[in-house]
Amino acid sequence: MNNEGYYKGTTTVGIVCSNGVVLATEKRATMGNLIASRDTKKIYRIADRMALTTAGSVGDAQRIARLASVELKLYELQRKAPMSIKAVSTLISNILWESRYFPYLIQLIIGGVDWSGPKIFSLDPIGGLLEEKKIVATGSGSPVAYGVLEDRYDDEMSVENGVDLAVRALRAAMKRDSASGDGIDIVRITQEGYFEEFREI
């Protein structure tokens, strides 16, 4: 496929903390060497205490986010209870696997808090699903982000400290990855709720 034809290039991170999860992304989308957008949405809220981050094709990401949101709402209407984070991740994994011959050009992080506590899962374009117990990063800037995350992660980290670590990892990635930049979107999810913020670079 010609990589010039769709928005791509990203750094996203997910961190499991003692009292919740932190998801964060930068804002830039590129088409080849062109900066196509400096204000791209890469975190989608799909339930009260659940979100997904996207790296890869913007159109594919938007479609998967819409599918996930609709499936969650249908499940809640039918079962009168929310779907677990693991179940949502498995559902999306199955959707990606069924499209493996014409795959969605995306990597996903799904995270949140449910009855079993804070959870994060990562998914590859053809449905590979892994539960991440501590940290995960996706996208073109992920190798740099991982260096910071691996060095500074602590099992007892609070979401407040997790936000600081996510920002540090993304800022490091943006210094080395030309496809990442233009500010940082952050989501904190705890039993108390879902909180969003934006940081300038």
Tell me the per-residue pLDDT of 118-174, one tens digit each, with 9 for 90 and over. Answer: 999 999 999 999 999 999 999 999 999 999 999 999 999 999 999 999 999 999 999
Q: What is the phi/psi pair of residue 144, to 5°?
A: -70, -45
Q: Using alpha carbons only, what angle is made at residue 56 by residues 87 and 71, rounded to the nearest 5 degrees?
A: 30
10 annotated active-site: yes
Q: In angstroms, how far is the first alpha carbon of the chain from the final one? A: 33
Contact yes or no for 85/119 (Cβ under 8 A)? yes
Among residues 162, 86, 69, which one has the least CA distance to residue 123?
Answer: 86
Question: What letter would DSSP give residue 147?
Answer: H
Choice among 10, 25, 30, 190 that is catalytic = 10
pLDDT tens-digit readout, 97-126: 999 888 999 999 999 999 999 999 999 999
The DSSP-derived string for 89-104 is HHHHHHHHHHTTTS--
Q: Which residue type occupies 13?
A: V
Q: Give the CATH fold of the 3-199 domain.
A: Glutamine Phosphoribosylpyrophosphate, subunit 1, domain 1 (3.60.20)
Number of helical H runs and strand E runs in the chain? 4, 12
pTM for the model stands at 0.92
d(C-alpha 86, C-alpha 116), whole Å: 10
